[in-house]
Amino acid sequence: MAVLGLGIDVVAIDRFEATLESSPTFAERVFTPQERELGTHSLAARWAAKEALAKALGAPAGLHWHDAEVVREDGGRPRLVMRGTVAARAAELGMTTFHLSLSHDAGIASAVVVAEGD
């Protein structure tokens, strides 16, 4: 496997929280119903993950935020679920495996995405 894409993003949690409060439709536009059930820190990390994923995909226009979802595996590890526009872009680039790391501490949420393919 070769690394075909890499993305990283950081989010100031207080600014993210202010965005959620000032733009009530933001959460509906970018998060799935399951993601919206989470707290602010987890949402900020998921927003960073979606931004990092977009960067790993080359940040093309036309990606739909709901086509990328961060879920937790049984052991708690975060995993990306992609469909629609996001899955199509990944396939176009030959990306088959994605690694995701999330963190939130000291008022910052961050995410790193590594995309691999043959």
3-class SS of residue 95: coil
* Side-chain half-sphere CA neighbours of 94 within 13 A: 6
Q: What is the mean pLDDT of the chain?
A: 96
Domains of the chain: 2-117 (3.90.470.20)
Whole-number Å distance between alpha carbons of 86 and 96: 12
What backbone phi and psi angles, to 5 degrees, belong to 58? 90, 10
Tens digits of pLDDT across the chain (118 residues): 899 999 999 999 999 999 999 998 999 999 999 999 999 999 999 999 999 999 999 999 999 999 999 999 999 999 999 999 999 999 999 999 999 999 999 999 999 999 999 8
pLDDT at res. 1: 86
